[in-house]
Amino acid sequence: MSFELLLDAVLGERELFHVIDCTVCGSEEIYYVDPISKQQIGKACSQCGFVQKFEFDHQE
Ligand SMILES: [Zn+2]
């Protein structure tokens, strides 16, 4: 499975939020937001093959 497909599977619709240096490999670690709510939904490093989805409690 390609990394982009993995991102599609784990995070779904997403927009690039910001990029930092990955603390593990030094490559680009990318933070993503939901395109509509603009809430951060996860981060990923393609070099590490790492994807993390952020879970949120409803705050309403
Ligand atoms: Zn990395």
Does residue 36 contact residue 45 with C-beta atoms inside 8 Å?
A: no
Q: What is the pLDDT along the chain (60 residues), one digit of tens a residue?
A: 799 999 999 999 999 999 999 999 999 999 999 999 999 999 999 999 999 999 876 555
Residue 11: CB atoms within 10 Å: 19
Measured in angstroms, how far is the CA atom of residue 2 from the centroid of ligand 1? 16
Measured in angstroms, how far is the CA atom of residue 50 from the centroid of ligand 1? 7
Measured in angstroms, how far is the CA atom of residue 1 from the centroid of ligand 1? 18
Does residue 29 contact residue 21 with C-beta atoms inside 8 Å?
A: yes
pTM: 0.86
Residue 52 has a pLDDT of 96
Measured in angstroms, how far is the CA atom of residue 41 from the centroid of ligand 1? 18
